[in-house]
Amino acid sequence: MAFSVIYSPIFLEHKPKDYHPENPERLLRAMEALKRTGLWEPIEPEPVPEEELLRVHSEDYVKRVKEKSRSFAYLDPDTYVSPGTFEASLTAFGASRRAVELAVERKGLYLALVRPPGHHAGRNGRALNAPTLGFCIFNSSAYAAKIAEEKLGKVLVIDFDAHHGNGTQEILWNDEKAVHIDLHERDIYPMSGYEYEVGGKKAEGTKINIPMPHYAGDDDYVYAWEEIVLPIIAQFRPKLIVVSAGFDGFLGENLTTLRLSEVFFAYAGSTLSRYPLAVIFEGGYSVGLDKGLPAFIRGYLSGEIREVPVAPSYEALRTVSAVKEVQRQWWEL
C-alpha cells in the first residue's frame, strides 16, 4: 500500500513567543512517533501561489493575515501569527494539494503533516459565531476538498478531530458535491456541529454532524463509525477521502474529555483502507501524536478490518439515534 508524509521544515517557522499549546514541538513529536514506528517517508512540498488561498478565503482576510504576519501578533486571544506564518501557510496548502494529487494518481495514504492547523478557519476567519479562530489560520482541509472536487467531481471529507471543523463546514456549506462528516465532542469550542446542521439550500444532507457525548471512548466512537460513517461512505462511493485528522481526543490529551485509544484510530484507519486518502493534520498535542497518529496509519496500511465488539454508553446510543433521525431523509441509515 502506497504511503508518504508530505512535510517541510518551514512548518516549524510558525511559532509563538511564549508558551502556546499549538507550537512547533507538535510536529517534532509527530515526526518522532512516525520514525519510531517505521512510518517516516517524507516528501518536500512546494508552496502554492498566494491567490490559491482565495479559493477558500476572502481577499480581506488573506490581506489581514499577511499584514499581521510581518511581526509577531495575535489575531485573537487564542491565535497568533509570526514572521514565518504566511510562508508556512502557503506551503501547507501546497502539501495538501500534493496529498490529493498523489492519492488520485497512486492510491494509498498521503499525510500532509502541516502547521498552522486550519479546520476552524472560515472564509473570513472566525466561522459560525465561534469566539476565536482556535489556533487556525488558513483551511488546508477545505482547500484539499476543493482540489479533489476539481479532479474527481465530488469529494468526501471526514473530520475526527475532537473539536468541530466549523471553518470547513462553513466553506463547504452550500457545496452539494462535498459531503462532510464530522465526529467531535458536543458542547465544547467552537460550540457548533449539532445534528440539525445539514447543509445549505440544495446541499441538504451533505453535512453530517455527530456530536459525541463528554467522556466518550472507543466503544462509543466505533459504534458511531459503524452506524453512520461507514453506511454513508458505502452509499457515496468516494473516489478519494480527505481526512481532517486530529488526535486530541486521545485519553491523556488535555483539551477535551474524550477517552479514545489506539483501538478507535486503528479501526478507523483499517475501515478506510479501500479508499485513497489525503490526510490533513489538525489537532493533537501530546500522547495522541505518540500513539493515535501511528495507529491510524498502521490500521490503514494493514488493510485488515478487525471487528471491535462494542458496548456504547446510553448517551452515545442517543446521539447516534438523533443523527440517524435527522439524516434518514438523505441516507439509508
Match 510558525 to its residue by C-alpha cell.
Answer: 14
**What's the pLDDT at 254?**
87
Strand partners, 281: 245
pTM: 0.96
Q: What's the per-residue H, E or C state across the chain?
A: CCEEEECCHHHHHCCCCCCCCCCCHHHHHHHHHHHHCCCCCEECCCCCCHHHHHHCCCHHHHHHHHHHCCCCEEEECCEEECCCHHHHHHHHHHHHHHHHHHHHHHCCEEEECCCCCCCCCECCECCCCCCCCCCCCCCHHHHHHHHHHHHHCCEEEEECCCCCCHHHHHHHCCCCCEEEEEEEECCCCCCCCCCCCCCCCCCCCCEEEEEECCCCEHHHHHHHHHHHHHHHHHHHCCCCEEEEECCCCEECECCCCCEECHHHHHHHHHHCCCCCEEEEECCCCCHHHHHHHHHHHHHHHHCCCCCCCCCCCHHHHHHHHHHHHHHCCCCCC
**What's the pLDDT at 91?**
98
**What's the pLDDT at 303?**
85
Identify residue 285 by its one-letter amino acid code: Y
CATH number of 3-327: 3.40.800.20
For 128-171, how does the pLDDT look when each residue is reduced to its tens digit (9 = 90+)? Answer: 989 999 999 999 999 999 999 999 999 999 999 999 999 999 99
**What's the pLDDT at 41?**
85
Positions in the chain whose pLDDT score sits under 70? none
**What's the pLDDT at 276?**
98
Q: At CA 165, angle to CA 280 and CA 77, rounded to 5?
A: 100
C-alpha–C-alpha distance, residues 109 and 123, integer Å = 28
For 100-113, how does the pLDDT look when each residue is reduced to its tens digit (9 = 90+)? Answer: 999 999 999 999 99
**What's the pLDDT at 293?**
98
User: Is the omega angle on the peptide bond into residue 116 within 30 degrees of 0, that is, cis?
Assistant: yes
